[in-house]
Amino acid sequence: MTEQTDAAEGTERRVRVVLVDDHRMFRAGVQAEIGRTEETGVEVVGEAADVDQAVTVITATRPEVVLLDVHLPGGGGVEVLRRCAGLAAAAERPVRFLALSVSDAAEDVIGVIRGGARGYVTKTITGADLVDSIFRVQEGDAVFSPRLAGFVLDAFASTDAPPVDEDLDRLTQREREVLRLIARGYAYKEIAKQLFISVKTVESHVSAVLRKLQLSNRHELTRWATARRLV
Amino acid sequence: MPVATARPPEAEEPAARRLYRSAEGRWLGGVARGLAGHLGLPVIWVRLVFLGLFMADGLGALLYAVFWIAVPLGVGGRSAEPKPVFETAPDGRRRLRKPDKGQLFALVALLIGAVVFVANIDLGGPANRYVWPVLLTGAGVVLVWRQADNARRAQWTGDGRRRGLLQLARGLAGVALVGMGLTVFVVVRGSAAQLGNVLTAALAVIAGVALLAGPWLVRMTQDLSEERLMRIRAQERAEVAAHVHDSVLHTLTLIQRNADDAGEVRRLARAQERELRNWLYRPEGTGKEEDEEPTMLADAVKRAAAEVEDKHGVPLEVVVVGDCPLDEKLTAQMQAAREAMVNAAKYGGEGGPVQVYAEVEGRTVFVSVRDRGPGFDPDAVPEDRMGVRESIVGRMQRNGGTARLRSVPGGGTEVELEMERADG
């Protein structure tokens, strides 16, 4: 995924980030990894350890990207997303959320994505990839880890069996192909080459999937989760 | 040696020191069996003595009842050892457990005794008209008491669940017998006309007792259940602590010791992370099926990846979509996939994590293993190298599947395996 980083732009790009995680050590680690603003272009403007703090800090600093832990005291990442929904939907300089979690349990991941996060990465991600993901989210793109793609495929695979009036909720063949390639570990550029489409098209497919996931029938997703004994 | 001399009495003590009613092989309360064990006599003797005493104006029954009430049911000592059917203790004593022949004999003796007893009773006689109610009541009491014993035993052994209904029925039967006996007693004693009054009075007394003792009983049960809850919580915490101690702490210690060996540290951390994750997020919370062969595809893929990861110290990212039971063809596919993972870990592990993707879609099972290593030219592989050709491609073809290999020098390698499921 490092291919995405455009060396030419280099230091021109700047992004203001808030870190939300209840582990101080982890925040310090991430800060050390991505916080060298001159090199990475990432400027950490605030930190928070629980839901209330997060809402306060995000409202006060209006960052472009929030790195959001899924498990937080006070209601979890989903609660932060709910209370910051207005900021995320703002027409001018919207706040975008990227879930960063140690949990790769499907219900956590699907939960924050449905709550409005623009992407999801696990904490084992490398610093370079994380910086790259942050910029992608800032540009309005969705960030799908292979594992997230797998969960989404799973969710839609079991829900599209009786699609009568749910056509909006379904994935197109192309979107499914794109997801599959992401799940197999391909970078966007590689997917574009594989499917003979442009990287922009790949990105728009991914964004469409994300939108469908956020809009998709709540009932069916709940059923999916229940069937897997996730809730 | 002092230890050697001290041992035999120590072994005897739990049985001889205290009198228990025997929970094993008992007929009623286990009194005779317990006494036999305590006195070192054959149980049949004790039973016969009780029978003889019973003839003496029911003294035996009274004695038996007193023992039953006063002596606790044994679990500890020898009375609870169920296995040996006929055994002699080190000092020549007969073991508690008797052969069936002895039991049969005792049963016959008891029957004869009962017949004699019944024959002795002058059924029509005025003095004996209380005998039947007393017998009925006695039988009911025996049933209920025995029931209470069983309930306690079920707590120890945990076997009470499936026989719950039977136990309830027995308890109810006991209560009914007692009620019947008392009613008959009243009927025989006075006239039937007073029965209504007596019943009303009895009910009033019972209601009064319930009102008085009720709140106290309720509070006691609440306290009890609260205490039980606390105990369960403590147990859970202990289990978590034990698990963290066994796995996480040990791994951290190993990591400290191997701090210089980055590869080893990474391997340990990955293995521990995976194990802990399984333990935390698995719905059932059972990490115990580790030893069994996996029966589902998703399990098999994850297991294979975990083993390769541990062995080669290269992280494998596994994504599985859908799941299905393994059949013969899929097992072959899993073996091929495993081979592909090993290859990827060995030759392509430097380029980052190996991506493993498995998907069940309808009847087709698709597995892809992808690394970002240096790659190679498949046509340049010598004829005698059997790894890819036989273990992966050949195996898939023999089982009716397909294998595709894509490798770009410098761009990594991807193996795609596709197989139809045997059943729908």
What are the distances in angstroms from CA A193 to CA A7, B227, B370? Answer: 20, 65, 17
CATH number, domain of A56, equals: 3.40.50.2300
Same domain, A121 and A195: no
- The mean predicted confidence, pLDDT, of chain B is 74
Give yes or no: residues A182 and A219 share one domain. Answer: yes
User: Which pLDDT band holds residue B408 (cuts at 50, 70, 90)?
Assistant: confident
| Residue A10 domain flag | no
pLDDT tens, residue by residue, A121-180: 887 788 888 898 999 888 888 888 888 888 888 877 755 444 444 445 677 888 888 999
Instruction: Give the neighbor-by-neighbor strand order of the sheet with B402-408.
Output: B316-321, B354-361, B364-371, B412-420, B402-408
Percent of chain A's residues with pLDDT above 90: 10
Tell me, what's the pLDDT at A225? 61
**Mean predicted lDDT score pLDDT of chain A:** 80
Do B341 and B307 meet the contact criterion of CB atoms below 8 Å apart?
no
Q: Which residues from A are below 8 Å from B321, CB to CB?
A: 150, 153-154, 157, 183
Contact indicator for A65, A130 with CB cutoff of 8 Å: no
Residue A1 covered by a domain: no
Q: Of the given ranges (A91-100, A142-151, B158-167, B208-217), which has the lowest mean pLDDT?
A: B158-167
- Is B25:B9 a contact under the CB 8 Å cutoff? no
Nearest C-alpha in A relative to B352: A126
Report pLDDT for B289. Answer: 47
pLDDT at B9 (0 to 100): 40
Q: What is the pLDDT of residue B378?
A: 67
Chain A residues in contact with B357 by the CB 8 A cut-off are 146, 150, 180, 183-185
Tell me: do A56 and A131 sit in the same domain. yes
- Same-domain status, A199 and A100: no
CATH number at residue A180: 1.10.10.10
Q: Are residues A39 and A79 in the same domain?
A: yes
**A112-126, A185-199, B247-261, B286-300: the lowest-pLDDT one:** B286-300
Find the closest chain A residue to B369 by CA distance. A184
Least confident of A11-15, B8-12, B198-202, B309-313: B8-12
Among B398, B368, B365, B392, residue whose Cα is nearest residue B378: B392
DSSP tag of A98? E
Helix (H, G, I), strand (E, B) or coil at B199: helix
Query: How many other C-beta atoms lie within 10 A of the C-beta of residue A111?
Result: 21
Q: Please state, in angstroms and as integers, the Cα–Cα distance from residue B271 to each residue in A172, B101, B337, B351, B363, following that order.
A: 38, 60, 20, 20, 33
In sequence order, what are the residues at sequence separation of 6 or more whose Cβ sits closer than 8 angstroms to the Cβ of residue B310? B267, B270, B271
Q: How far apart are alpha carbons A187 and A141 in whole angstroms?
A: 14
Q: Write down the pLDDT at residue A75.
A: 81
Report the residue of B317, B341, B364 to disrupt the A interface, i.e. the one with the largest count of A CBs within 10 Å: B317
CA distance A138 to chain B (A): 26
Q: At residue B350, does pLDDT exceed 50?
A: yes
Q: Band the pLDDT of B184: cuts 50, 70, 90.
A: confident
Domain presence at residue A7:
no
Q: Is A208 helix (H, G, I), strand (E, B) or coil?
A: helix
For residue A48, give the DSSP letter.
E
Spell out a b/e string for B17-56, using b for 16 or more CB atoms within 10 Å of the CB, else e. Answer: eebbbbbbebebbbbbbbbbbbeeebbbebbbebbebbee
pLDDT band at A102 (very low <50, low <70, confident <90, very high): confident
C-alpha to C-alpha distance for B134 and B185, rounded to whole angstroms: 8
Q: Give the dihedral of Cα atoms B417, B420, B423, B424; nearest 10 deg.
A: 110
Residues A46 and A107 placed together within one structural domain of the fold: yes
Question: CA-CA distance, B9 to B3, in Å (whole number)?
Answer: 11
The two structure tokens encoding residue A169: 């909720």
CATH number, residue B309: 3.30.565.10
Complex ipTM over 0.90:
no
Please state, in angstroms and rounded to a whole number, the distance separating the CA atoms of residues B172 and B187: 22
Say if A9 falls within a structural domain.
no
- Would you say residue B354 lies in a domain? yes
State the Cα–Cα distance between residues A76 and A20, nearest whole angstrom.
Answer: 10
The whole-number average pLDDT for the span A192-202 is 90
User: Do residues A48 and A150 share a domain?
Assistant: yes
The answer to whether B144 and B175 are in contact (CB under 8 A) is yes
Residues A143 and A172 in one domain: no
The verdict on residue B287 lying in a domain is no
Question: Which pairing describes strands B364-371 and B354-361: parallel, antiparallel, or unpaired?
Answer: antiparallel
Please check whether residue A82 lies inside any domain of the structure.
Answer: yes
Residue A8 lies in a domain: no
- Contact flag A183-B277 (C-beta cutoff 8 Å): no
pLDDT of amino acid B229:
92
Answer whether residue B41 is part of any domain: no
Distance CA A94, CA A203 (A): 19
Stretch A205-216: mean pLDDT: 80
CB within 8 Å: B321 and A229 = no
In-domain check, residue A148:
yes
Burial of B218 (0-12, 13-18, 19+ CB in 10 A): exposed
Confidence band, pLDDT 50/70/90 cuts, at residue B154? low
Q: List, for residues B288-323, the tens digit of each pLDDT value.
A: 445 567 888 888 998 889 888 888 878 888 898 888
**Last-in-domain residue among A157, A189, A219:** A157
Residue A102 located in a structural domain = yes
The total number of structural domains that make up chain A: 2
Last residue of a domain, which of A157, A176, A208?
A: A157
Domain that holds residue A171: 166-228
Q: Which residues of A touch B337 (CB under 8 A)?
A: none
Beta-carbon separation of A146 and B319 below 8 A:
yes
Q: How confident is the model at residue A98 (pLDDT cuts 50, 70, 90)?
A: very high
User: Which residues in B lie closer than 8 A to residue A229 (C-beta atoms)?
Assistant: 283
Q: Is the residue at B303 inside a domain?
A: yes
CB–CB of B60/B52 below 8 Å?
yes
Q: How many domains does chain B have?
A: 1
Which chain A residues have any C-beta within 8 angstroms of a chain B C-beta? 103-105, 124, 146-147, 149-150, 153-154, 157, 180, 183-186, 229-230
Tokens linked to A147:
């594992």
Task: Identify the domain containing residue B392 by its residue range.
Answer: 293-420
Structure tokens at B258: 């191997």
Quickly state the pLDDT bin for A196 (edges 50, 70, 90).
very high
Last residue of a domain, one of A99, A132, A157: A157
What is the DSSP track for B370-399? EE-S----GGGS-TT--IIIIIIIIHHHHT
**Could you tell me if residue B359 is inside a domain?**
yes
